[in-house]
Amino acid sequence: MDYKATAKAILPLIGGAENIISAAHCATRLRLVIADNSKVQKEKVEDVDGVKGVFEASGQLQIIIGTGAVNKVYDELVSIAGIEGGSKEDVKKAAASKAPWYKRAIKTLGDIFVPIIPAIVASGLLMGLLEGFSNLIPGLAENDIYTIFHLFSNAAFTFLPILIAVSAAKAFGGNMFLGAVIGMIMIHPDLLNAWNVATADTIPTAEAWFGLYDINLVGYQGHVIPVVIAVWFMSFLEKRLHKIVPEMIDLFVTPLVTVIVTGYLTLTIIGPVFSWLESGVLTAMQWLIALPFGIGGALCGGLYAPTVVAGIHHMYNALEAGLLSATNVNTWMPIATAANVAQGAAALAFAIKTKNRKNKSVAFPASLSAFLGITEPAIFGVNLRFVKPFIAGIIGGAAGGLVAGLLHVGASAYGITGVFGVLITTANLWQYLLVMAVAFAVAFLMTLVLYREKKPAAEGPGTPAGETAPIPVGALADSNAILSPLSGTVVALKDVPDATFAEGVLGDGIAIEPKEGKVVAPCKGTVSTLFDTHHAIGLTLENGAELLVHIGINTVELNGEGYSAFVEEGDQVSPGQTLITFDPDFLRSKGYQTVTPVIVTNSDEYSAITPKAQGEVQVMDPLLELGDRSE
């Protein structure tokens, strides 16, 4: 890969340097925050050599380049654009500042619950393994070693409010240790354990706000949202106090006031109100998932992937944590697995069916990633781009969710989906495997049925300009030949004064210095791309070649002046039909070179692209020869 050429090709397609707010990269992707997304030509960026996919997520434009190359393309992009690079955190902050309030709220939930996933996974895996072994070995639960490990398995869930409080304080910018204190207050041993309320003879109470009403002195085991709200208030109060309390007494006044005020409000207002609301939400979700005949599971399984596209799927972490804390069973995770596996199956079916090598190279690893629980590459890099695989994935997710709802499949943790989810579903392993199998089979078969490679239509319309170039007898008989779309002097592609074309970034081909200002269709095909400025046109020819005719160098800067187009995107064209006319002398008078590259942009599908003309060439003369088509 020519890293500089790739960066130069990408920059104008994302709106130029002035459209970049922030830029960084990870191991495989450029991560850009764009000022005006309408200026980004995503499909054209995808066609740049070296780009394996483009998608938007979390307010970022993410351009997949690949390990070992992305850092070099990034360095060239930053240098060419004349901007300062940033860290991934800088990009995340810039992206977050652009997001609507509800997306920022959902992202915050992700920032709180994602960091504690390792603790939940550790406890959940151990809980699942112990449950599996105890089913296989009668009497194991009486073993002392089992007793000790069982203690380990529920530790994270017993003290979950403290874990959430610490993570929330970090997310909200508060002191994590003060956050821990609030979490401890909410499950203090002096409060009646919430899990013992049903068997308690009496529930202790206390007067609140000078006798206005009584509160139950019950802990918040099994609750999630009240902890988040309490720590949000704590962080807000703490930061305000730091601003108004004199520095010399800030060290002891601010923590003291923060804990006293937040603690009292939490036990008397925040806790009672938001625990009631949370219980209502969890009850509603449990009701939805448990709808008769698996309808709820099907609805949730079908809607999961669209919420990933919308970037709001992080809210499910809070839902799963709440389900686990309240019931010890995560019924959402198998439904999420169904959706993820289905998108992976759709990408796999697409990879098998497509003849485009570049698309295959992206789809195969993307499908594997989805089977392991990471769906963004499959959704954004493949399925959403070609629409029908995405729809098939939604149908497969609904089918898998239906099975999960019918069989009441549950997990003992969250943070793991897909194949590795078997580790936290040992209590109903075969049901979980059936959920994945159904989701896979339905999505895979639906993709094979729905998806079709685009084929140019056989017939074209008349000639809009009333002109048809003369066609040599027998010239169209050779399906491997591409005829010349204009007259002039042949120029080797390597001699074109633009690195993007000269170095083959966009594909192999040839160039022509035009002697007259007319471009015609070299054979039957479809107009796949017509730039607004009319300086370039893309054709999908009947023989399968994708042809780009770029009239002049940097002529996009003329904004269409000097050009006239006689076709539109989607038009079917006939051999010799006039497509574009232009004024070569006008272009030269404005200081632009008129050499016109004629590029086969899907060159990688052929064994070779061989020039067949030298010197002078007339319209519809043989120009290029296509090698054997790669399968």
Catalytic residue ranges:
26, 550
Total residues found in the chain within this entry: 631
**Contact assessment for residue 600 and residue 547, using Cβ atoms and an 8 Å cutoff:** yes
For 519, phi and psi rounded to 5 degrees? -115, 130
Backbone phi, then psi, for 24, in 5-degree steps?
Answer: -155, 180
**In 3D, which of 525, 528, 520, 535 has the Cα closest to residue 586?**
535
CB burial of residue 464 (10 Å; 0-12, 13-18, 19+): middle
On whether the CB atoms of residues 378 and 343 are closer than 8 A, the answer is: yes
Nearest to 414 by CA among 304, 331, 343, 344: 331
User: CA 387, 392, 397: angle at the middle one, nearest 5?
Assistant: 125
Task: Look at the alpha carbons of 339, 345, 348, 350 in this order and tell me if their dihedral is positive or negative.
Answer: negative
Report residue 425 as tokens. Answer: 């579903």
Q: Please choose, from the candidates 506, 381, 549, 362, the residue with its C-alpha nearest in 3D space to the C-alpha of residue 8.
A: 506
Longest dimension (CA), the chain: 102
Residue pointed to by tokens 């009239």 = 551
Q: Give the SS3 label for residue 580.
A: strand
Helix, strand, coil percent content, the chain, rounded in steps of 5: 55, 15, 30
Residues 359, 350: contact at Cβ < 8 Å?
Answer: yes
Q: From CA 302, how far away is CA 336, in angstroms rounded?
A: 9
Instruction: Identify residue 264 by its one-letter amino acid code.
Output: Y
